[in-house]
Amino acid sequence: MKSDQALINSAKEFLVEALDSYRCRKCNFAILHAVTATELVLKERLARINPSLVYRNIDAMDFHGEHTVSLSKLPQRLRNFGVKLSADETRLILTFAEWRNQIVHHMPSFEMSAANKQLPLLLDFLAVFLRRELGIPLEKFLPKSLYRTAASMLRDWARVVEKARTDAKAEGSVLSEACPACGATDVLTLRDDKKVFCHLCSAKHYRYDRCSSCGAQTVSQFSSLDEGNYCDECVQRAGDMYIDDLLEKERGK
């Protein structure tokens, strides 16, 4: 059986794959990955009580080669050892365990429209369980590149964003611009020397100043090239012009 940290790392990888698949409208893959991530997280909770509890036969003399407990059995085993799972949470886990079985072994009989509605509930449960039972906030579990996807799917994520906005308001000097790193709004605060800090993703390599090219007041990355400050649009425009110039020179050969 994997170590505790390996279980969490694997769960994170599967959750990332689930969100990527959901974003690309690959519902079957999203279900497979999300359910696997959930199973690994539930087993991690059991392992924190006693590592032998993740195995089907906890009385085995030697756990080498022993199968781990199935997902459908996990809710009851967790409850037996004092881990709280509501009837709705248990029902959701068992539903997706059956759906995963259908995807892997049979032709799926569930409606994709139902899966699209239920999948965010499973991911929201995972976010709540991580925070409640393992002390791992979702914002520390996901890469920043998936913050936007999480925001569109998870009710728990809304609470994370709201806390970041509350923290920003408490500090003061809140900027209305979206964070260039995670895309959230009302989470940036202006600190000394035009420096900007994001209370959601902790990005801090940004400044609030007028663009040296177009004059717009903007949040942008610090430039190591010169003393200027350039907004993302102007940087993108300059890059496009450079590529166009190279292509023109190629055509002129």
Tell me how far apart the alpha carbons of residues 105 and 60 are, in angstroms, rounded to a whole number.
29
CATH classification for the domain delimited by 4-136, as one of 1.10.8, 1.25.60, 1.20.120, 1.10.490: 1.20.120
Q: Which of 121, 129, 118 is nearest to 41 (CA)?
A: 129
Q: Which residue has the tokens 């497979």?
A: 32
Per-residue tens of pLDDT for the chain, all 253 residues: 544 588 899 999 999 998 888 888 788 888 889 899 999 999 999 999 998 898 887 876 676 777 888 998 999 999 999 998 888 888 888 888 888 877 777 666 555 666 666 778 788 888 889 989 999 988 888 888 888 888 877 777 778 888 899 999 999 999 988 887 777 889 999 987 778 898 988 877 787 877 777 877 778 765 444 556 676 677 767 776 777 677 677 666 5
Tell me how far apart the alpha carbons of residues 142 and 163 are, in angstroms, rounded to a whole number.
17
Neighbours of 223 (CB within 10 A): 13
Q: Which residue has the tokens 């190629």?
A: 250
Predicted structure pTM score: 0.66
Domain boundaries, the chain: 4-136, 172-251
CA 175, 181, 187, 193 dihedral sign is: negative
